[in-house]
Chains A and B, each alone.
Chain A
Amino acid sequence: MSGLVDALTAIVGAEGCLSRADEVFPYECDGLSLHAATPGAVVFPRDTSDVVRIVRACAEHGRSFVPRGAGTGLSGGALACDEAVVIECSRMNRVLEVNPEARWARVQPGLVNADLSRAVATHGLFYAPDPSSQLACTIGGNVAENSGGPHTLKYGTTTDHVLGLELVLSSGEVVRLGSACGVAPGYDLVGAVVGSEGTLGVVTEVTVNLEPIPEAIATLLGIFGDVVSACRAVGEIIRSGLVPAALEIMDRRTIEAVEASVYAAGLPRDAGAVLLIELDGPPPALERQRERIRAIAMAQGASRVDVARDADERERFWAARKGAFGAMGRLGPDLYVHDAVVPRAKLPEVIARVCEIGDRYGLKLSNVFHAGDGNLHPNISFDRRNPDELDRVLAAGDEILRTCVDAGGVITGEHGVGTEKRDFMELIFSEADFGAMKRLRRAFDPEQRSNPGKIFPSTRFCTEANPKARGYDRVPLREGEP
């Protein structure tokens, strides 16, 4: 390792290369703290040429590398399996070019999602994909995970917004894919790289299209007695032909956690669920749509439908929604955020099953999710130091995923496969499917040194990522407890 560390230090300077055990320790996991693996080193490039040299140095030393953004990923995507070198993009965070007429921006991958929208707001534009982690997560991470967000319902996910990419392959070659005008002849390799979880190379530049800030926005809050009737309302709204910008559900446990947090927005604590609905467009149209939605929600059993009075209140509703995962931290030291998609029509039935599974395993399970897309996020709060609880968390998670697949769904909507779900991939793909995917991967990265141990079912890689192998039971429970 030390030869490689010297080479890396020569590229980025001593301050830009971490290799001591305690220096790399905080990089052992991402937002999914159950899985962990210790990197060999962590480097901070400033531009594409740094990345090229880093990747070449890794190639010379036969070492793998892992691109990393903010480490908010929830599937272990940024884990450094095989003592890989973490290529941390946080210092590649500049907006390189904005073209307000053609409505695109060219940015470095470490740019924080929310900073992009902030940077182009003066042109009346915004970047539409808005993961709940947008205050922290990076565009590079978004590209790698094909991230979505509440507004995906109307605006689509990351892949619908990436026009072009610059990618450094594991050989050190730099390739440019797609084009700013949105059309590129031949294979849609931009489409292949978006969602590839860092396994095809390091994205070093992203050209994204921007949307005009809508003329008007209306945000409604439907209050329901239970989460199943809120799901039915979602089905009816979509069936009516309306296209809201967002349809998000939070259940009672989520509401309680958020209302106890700094993001409290005055949501009714006695509600079984709330449905957050956002409409955008020209004001007269909004007026009519608002009334139709209100009628549908009431018909599906809403006790009332509130309208955000002003921009302040709207922002508070959204801050509450986006802070919801974190707020769940109040319910236990650890949080397992699940992510699966089911056909919208199956939502009411699946959500009822999910709740039943949580109860059966005696777990604190809460739901906050992109209902309009059928994208569920059952969240389980727990304490990893309690081995019995950890077993139940993992078993429940397994059952939840199988339930979603049985209902015709898939095992992840937006958080990716990473290390977390690679063993579930076989639920939806055949050997032939994997064969095609692996051949595509090898075309970019013949030696599989770019983010090894991800997506594909377990191999020799990353056994340490397995939470049960980590022996959390070594660690004592609270002081004084057995």
Chain B
Amino acid sequence: MAETPSGLGALYERSLDCVHCGLCLSSCPTYVETGREASSPRGRIYLARGVAEGRISLGGVASEEFYACLGCRACETACPSGVRYGELLEEARAAVEREDARTGPARGIEWFALRRIVPHPVVLRAFVNLLGLAQRLRLDRLALPFLPAALRERHRLLPSVPSRLERRPLPPRIRAEGEPRGRVALLEGCVMPEFFGATNRATARVLARNGYDVVVPEAQGCCGALQAHAGDADTARSLLDRNCRAFLDAEVDAVVVNSAGCGAHLRGAGHWLPGEGDDLAERVRDIAEFLVEAGFRAPTGRIEARVCYDDPCHLLHGQGVKDAPRRLLESIPGVELIEHADAAACCGAAGIYNLTHPEMSQAVLARKLDALSAADPDIIATGNPGCLMQLAKGAAERGLRARVVHPIELLEEAYR
């Protein structure tokens, strides 16, 4: 019998919500791919319960599976029993970190990226600058033959860095056009300004166009979602704490988020910081959801295109937002919205999963690309930075003609 690690009460509680019915199995990308019970939601929950009851050890299959999970939460949407799988997974990973029960290269990559780079804007910026420089000078290609095979493959997965102009920060305040309807704050994010500055600016402009004063609190920072998902509870809590103060001080009607992963995490802030976190969570809205709820100006510019919308997991499963982005897209004259067969499934990006588990990530992506290639759209729209990068890379490599954009950028284009 294995030794039970202490402090597993919350993990155990979550695991008891599962009645082992199996209805979640086919919604799980890693189960569909492997057919392995341990790689299914039900199996992972069973492993968690087994660890908490001291029947199996935390190292080995349990910790491997807690990290081989995409954290896409499709299982939550499928589960009639109301299992809070996302929380269970964070608890499980936090336990693995506490007990130091994990080994392997994935751990090193995660630790380095999530503690040393992402939470620190200056370091992140320097890292992205360096990466951009290397990409422009093609140094990366030159260095490739000298890298170990595993790194070479992973290098291919890093996004290309946009120009400095695109990476300029947002001004602290963007005034509403016309009579203001309200005041909202915008979460800039950590990775978003570095790789998707244009999306952030489009978001601010669309909000202003719709009569909102937009503030971009300077005190905000990385939301901590990736750290929470990776089991780094302390970093996650301190990042959330900073954001709670930044956004609650800003005294706004809503905190608008254009990155699904950040939105889902902020909506669960109460789990990490009861009280303040709940206050923040209450105000968080995804941009598409916010606009559709508030009523938005119908765009008049035409975009003649067949558009496939692809649901980010943390919008669909994490926040239950399915229709709003589709309503935005449909409102654009000339846009023909077409559904593809795999819209609700994960694309395999899953934070930095594509770097830590490249094989599974690529297998999951391949299914999605099959469906997209059958639908053959002009544009693929999705609202999360990780998914945007993953789909852009994937579509290019598959030779799809579609460009990949955030829905808000199309709306902004149609406002011009």
Contact = CB atoms under 8 A, between A and B. Distances in A.
Given A27-B37, A258-B80, A263-B80, A133 B20 contact: no
Interface in B47-69: 47, 50, 53, 55-57, 60-62
B27 to A, nearest CB: 8
A133 B79 CA distance: 12
B81 A327 contact: yes
Contact of B47 (A25, A93, A258, A479): A25
A475 B76 CA distance: 27
A334 B20 CA distance: 8
A20 B62 CA distance: 12
Interface in A22-72: 22-23, 25-27, 29, 31, 33, 44, 70-72
Contact of B23 (A27, A136, A334, A479): A136
11 contacts: A20-B60, A21-B56, A22-B47, A26-B46, A110-B35, A135-B26, A262-B80, A327-B82, A328-B19, A329-B21, A478-B13
A112 interface: yes
Interface in A322-358: 323-330, 333-335
A383 B239 CA distance: 38
A25 B99 CA distance: 21
Question: Closest 9 CB pairs between A and B?
Answer: A329-B81, A90-B35, A326-B80, A329-B19, A323-B80, A333-B16, A327-B80, A72-B22, A26-B37
A154 interface: no
A390 to B, nearest CB: 15
B81 A93 contact: no
B251 interface: no
A300 interface: no
A324 B80 contact: yes
A251 interface: no
B410 interface: no
B19 A93 contact: no
B202 to A, nearest CB: 32
A115 to B, nearest CB: 8
Contact of A262 (B20, B47, B79): B79
A326 B21 contact: yes
Contacts of A33: 19-20
B38 A23 contact: yes
Interface in B1-38: 9, 12-13, 16-27, 35-38
B21 A72 contact: yes
B37 A326 contact: no
A334 B49 CA distance: 13
B53 A475 contact: yes
B77 interface: yes
A22 B62 contact: yes
Nearest to A132: B23
A22 B80 contact: no
B229 to A, nearest CB: 22
Nearest to B56: A22
B217 interface: no
Nearest to A113: B26
Contacts of A335: 19, 21
B8 to A, nearest CB: 9
Contact of B80 (A25, A26, A110, A329): A329
A273 interface: no
Nearest to B15: A333
A333 B79 contact: no
A136 B50 contact: no
A76 to B, nearest CB: 12
Contacts, number: 115
B333 interface: no
B13 A70 contact: no
Contacts of A29: 20
Given A93-B35, A136-B24, A262-B79, 18 more contacts: A18-B36, A25-B38, A26-B37, A31-B22, A71-B22, A72-B25, A112-B26, A115-B26, A135-B27, A136-B22, A136-B25, A137-B22, A262-B76, A323-B80, A326-B21, A326-B81, A329-B18, A479-B12
Contacts of B20: 29, 31, 33
B82 A325 contact: no
B15 to A, nearest CB: 9
B132 interface: no
A8 interface: no
Contact of B61 (A25, A327, A333): A25
Contacts of B9: 479
A114 B26 CA distance: 10
Contact of B43 (A26, A44, A324): A26
Interface of A: 18, 20-23, 25-27, 29, 31, 33, 44, 70-72, 88, 90-91, 93, 110, 112, 114-115, 133, 135-137, 258, 260-263, 323-330, 333-335, 475, 478-479
A334 B17 CA distance: 8
A329 B17 contact: yes
Interface-centre pick from A22, A114, A260, A333 (highest chain B CB count, 10 A): A22
B23 A135 contact: yes
Given A26-B43, A478-B13, A91 B80 contact: no
B343 to A, nearest CB: 15
A416 to B, nearest CB: 15
Interface-centre pick from A33, A44, A260 (highest chain B CB count, 10 A): A33
Given A27-B37, A261-B82, A329-B82, A133 B56 contact: no
A258 B62 CA distance: 31
A71 B37 contact: yes
Contacts of A31: 20-22
Interface-centre pick from B12, B21, B22, B27 (highest chain A CB count, 10 A): B21
B38 to A, nearest CB: 5
A327 to B, nearest CB: 4
B264 to A, nearest CB: 16
Contacts of B27: 135
A70 B25 contact: yes
Contacts of A135: 23, 25-27, 78
A461 B83 CA distance: 34
B133 to A, nearest CB: 40
A21 B80 CA distance: 30
Contacts of A324: 80
B35 A88 contact: yes
Contacts of A261: 80-82
A324 B38 CA distance: 25
A323 B61 CA distance: 30
A112 B35 CA distance: 11
Contacts of B37: 26-27, 71, 88
Contacts of B82: 260-262, 327, 329-330
Interface in B397-416: none
Contacts of B78: 135, 262
B21 A25 contact: no
Contact of A22 (B13, B60, B81, B83): B60
A329 B80 CA distance: 8
B81 A330 contact: yes
A235 B370 CA distance: 49
Contacts of A27: 37
Given A26-B47, A329-B81, A70 B22 contact: yes
A133 B13 contact: no
B24 to A, nearest CB: 8
A133 B22 contact: yes
Nearest to A110: B35
Interface in B346-392: none
A37 to B, nearest CB: 14
